[in-house]
Chains A and B, each alone.
Chain A
Amino acid sequence: MTADVKEAAETAVTDYILAQETKDQLRFLTCGSVDDGKSTLIGRLLYDTKLIFEDQLAALERDSKKHGTVGEDIDLALLVDGLEAEREQGITIDVAYRFFATDKRKFIVADTPGHEQYTRNMATGASTADLAVLLVDARNGLMVQTRRHAFIASLLGIRHVVLAVNKIDLAGYSEDRFNEIRKDFEVFANGFDFETLQAIPMSARFGDNVTAKGQNMDWYQGPTLLEHLETVEVGEDALEAPFRFPVQWVNRPNLDFRGYSGTIASGRVATGDELVVAGPAKISKVKTIVGAAGEVPEARAGEAVTITLEDEIDISRGDLLSSTAHRPDVADQFAAHVIWMSDEPLLPGRPYLLKIGTRTVTATVSEIKHKINVNTFEHVAGKTLELNEIAFCNFALSSSVPFDPYEANRSTGSFILIDRMSNATVGAGMVWFALRRASNIHWQALDVDRTARSEKLGQKPAVLWFTGLSGSGKSTIASIVEKKLHIDGRHTYTLDGDNVRHGLNKDLGFTDVDRVENIRRVGEVARLFTDAGLITLVSFISPFKAERQMARDLLGEGEFVEVFVDTPIEVCRQRDPKGLYAKADRGEIKNFTGIDSPYEAPENPEVHIRNVNRDPEDIAEEVIAYLRERGFLNS
């Protein structure tokens, strides 16, 4: 290539890329069962859009000879069935994501299996899709599974549907047959709230009406599947909904900047807009918006931004910033549809973790109102919910959360349920409406145990173990933390080294044995307080790792929060609030930590505070931020 030609080619490419910047993205879901030719259809789309590269094709031809089901032809389905096990069984058992692009749009395809036992996989694929392609076999027409697929798509909020009447070649390319199926489906789908519904006769295997018009269907005047996917107008409901912004992360690089980072769930925001923190109902105005490319005057649904406010108000991860004109519901009880995804059944009354937006709370199903038969849509009674079952339930949460009905907002109305023991994702839910206290939810009988106590207090019990040198600032910080927790409505108690030695431990001296006993007793007391649901603050030099480990072992997993107040000894010595360093230097105190007795610094403290020239208020905030992030302060 000459320099001129090369430059021209590069300019052309740069222009092309700039044009691509406005390229849209469409996420769609394909559902159908094994025999409907779903994998073949996706393979056809990938194949025809020329994104199957040469060597993938070579590998495919080799694999086809091993597993293929269509004789010597290339089996397009093998392109998309990813995992070994599935290839051996000849079925698609998980959700797989595929990609292809045309000049107009980039497509992300969620490829999901059709069998009833994979309802959860289909729901997963549908949760992020704009459109669903429902496959039917032209020979069989509408099946039970077609109804199920339409129902799940609708339940998950999909507004655009394509009815792909596949294998029309095997039905003699019959227009009558196609129209019959289309009408059946239109009548049936009338009950669902689909915005667009396009039926297309096609043969994925031979490529008719997938990306190019079929040779054998002159009677069909509508778009090919690809044409439809490229042009279907899928508006963004989220853009029209009121502003919602779940705070993901507090961005605080220095004292001059305090921003809230997150993804705008819905609506728009501009500098000067008045926003409210849902729940506490604190109001402020937007000062600046930092977008992906720097500061911007406004931002919209889907964008990841950082927002700063005019006023210093206490906001942390899990809070929801909202438009003041249209506020979300805030409640600790709501009714929701749930899709159960675990082999272990859902049990009413059993506590699960519920993650909604960026907030995680404890939740129980207080009542299964009814289960829904996914094939007939009939309501059936049930005491438990099994894998792949869908039900309408009442939920009771450990604290109030902000939300919108799923119908109005897919982001702020959706949640997942997590098993507290296995940490597995066991369910997915869509909020229908808030329940008021007055609707008198009937609680399952509960034993009064530590869970019940802590739930009543709306907090997860913990022991905050402040360790550090004498004069490091432990007690000062602990006391501010306790005050802040108290103001926030938390139930706390502080065990201070000096005070405990005046009472509970006044019989103990400073020998090694006594020192261990001192820590043991404090640890036991802390454990009892934890049982009672309290957040206990312990402020002890506790110089030895083994001692601190002993206290840790007394408590449950995740309940011991070691706060290392890391202050250099020179600084402590300078402060010397009780004049102890001076005494130790004069030899009046023996075994003084840091002078003639070592301090074993924690290796992996939950919170590590380097306390030099720092405002204790800020440090206390840091400790509280940790508790909040870890779900100790669920409300």
Chain B
Amino acid sequence: MNMQSHGITPERLSNLKRLEAESIHIIREVAAEFSNPVMLYSIGKDSGVMLHLAMKAFYPSRPPFPLLHVDTTWKFRDMIRFRDDTAKRLGLDLLVHTNPEGLEKNINPFDNGSSVHTHIMKTEALKQALDKYGFDAAFGGARRDEEKSRAKERVFSFRNANHGWDPKNQRPELWNLYNARVAKGESIRAFPLSNWTELDIWQYILTENIPMVPLYLAATRPVVERDGMLIMVDDDRMKLLPGEIIQEKKVRFRTLGCYPLTGAIESDADTLPAIVREMLIARTSERQGRLIDKDESASMEKKKREGYF
């Protein structure tokens, strides 16, 4: 009891070590129990951490599953470059899927709006890809601290044959015993980073020196102000609205997605420690940078019921 005043019991695993071990356990459990798992790779920082953990989980073997990227064709060019480099550097199979019907109809965030674009090019495309390859488990990098409906999601989140999520009928999840049983056509989404917070993610990236897309770091980039957000002009498909002008600003991104839907923040943080410093004094939460959540405060739960990650 003489340790009481110090609080920390020296023998306990640190927060990051405990999170790391728990994630590796989850990743291995999926690989061992499912016949055809896949890792959704969205190129962002959470995906980067998840992939790093997967490399550790199976070392010296390679992860026994491919990566899948659902490409809406509107991702930042830096993301695509980083994605291809990463798969090559790690020697992993990378599957890329784009919704062919969406492509044919030229679905895009400008003409169709964020909600339609996200539904067709992300949610539907993801379902198509999962069906096409018959994956029975898909890893995602979502965290419970991101958003309220995620706080109740299981680590092994069951999806019916239509990829739907039923928040009222989730399997109880006790200890570290995950129920991996699914019938044909059904699947699970596995979330190894469930218990990580954004701060944990950055700390881990920094201590493990995990490569990240440069867009997270501040640089001078061409942006326009639209709906109160700074949107980067990543290519010439971005048409300016009346009154809009392209400005060169030093900005960075807190989350990465389709460039027309991802708001930048003005920042000087051009190194990882600077980002963490900025984070520690942050006044706005992470998903603020994403247009898709703005529709309604319960919008994420609706999307997830429909099969969104």
Contacts and interface: CB of A to CB of B under 8 A. Distances in A.
B243 to A, nearest CB: 26
A121 B170 CA distance: 11
Main SS class of interface, A: mixed
Contact of A414 (B20, B58, B177): B177
A263 B174 contact: no
Interface string B13-25: 1111111111011
A312 interface: no
A230 B32 contact: no
Contacts of B175: 127-128, 410-411, 414, 416
Interface stretch (A20-28, A186-194, A590-598): A20-28
Nearest to B206: A17
B239 interface: no
Interface string A80-124: 111111000000011111110100111010000000000011011
Nearest to A263: B25
Contacts of A18: 207
B297 A629 contact: no
A252 interface: yes
Contacts of B206: 14, 17
Interface string B98-142: 000000000000000000000000000000000000100000000
Contact of A411 (B4, B32, B176, B297): B176
Contact of A249 (B28, B182, B268, B297): B28
B60 A261 contact: no
A303 B20 CA distance: 9
Given A24-B12, A62-B297, A292-B56, A54 B284 contact: yes
B291 interface: no
Given A53-B282, A263-B176, A304 B274 contact: no
Contacts, number: 237
B283 A236 contact: no
A537 interface: no
Contacts of A248: 25, 28-29, 32
B60 A253 contact: yes
A446 interface: no
A5 B63 CA distance: 43
Interface stretch (A139-147, A326-334, A423-431, A454-462): A423-431
B220 interface: no
B174 A127 contact: yes
Nearest to B36: A604
Interface residues of A, number: 93
B276 A17 contact: yes
B9 A233 contact: yes
A85 B168 contact: yes
Nearest to A410: B175
Contacts of B173: 124, 425
A433 B285 CA distance: 49
A262 B29 CA distance: 9
Given A106-B15, A341-B172, A17 B207 contact: yes
A315 interface: no
B219 to A, nearest CB: 15
A248 B57 CA distance: 11
Contacts of B20: 292, 304
A56 interface: yes
B179 A63 contact: no
A1 B268 contact: yes
Contacts of B18: 25, 302
A341 B179 CA distance: 14
A6 B274 contact: yes
Contacts of A98: 145, 151
24 contacts: A13-B274, A17-B207, A22-B8, A23-B8, A25-B19, A85-B167, A97-B144, A98-B151, A99-B195, A105-B8, A108-B195, A231-B4, A231-B6, A236-B9, A239-B11, A251-B60, A253-B60, A263-B24, A302-B18, A304-B25, A414-B174, A416-B172, A416-B174, A425-B172
Interface of A: 1, 6, 9-14, 16-18, 20-25, 53-56, 59, 62-63, 80-85, 93-99, 101, 104-106, 108, 120-121, 123-124, 127-128, 230-236, 239, 248-249, 251-253, 257, 259, 261-263, 290, 292, 300, 302-304, 306, 317, 341, 353, 355-356, 358, 410-411, 414-416, 418, 423-425, 428, 557, 604, 606, 629
Interface of B: 1, 3-9, 11-22, 24-25, 28-29, 31-33, 35, 56-62, 134, 144-145, 148-149, 151-152, 167-168, 170-177, 179, 181-184, 186, 194-195, 197, 199-200, 203, 206-207, 268, 271, 273-274, 276-277, 280, 282-285, 288, 297-298, 301
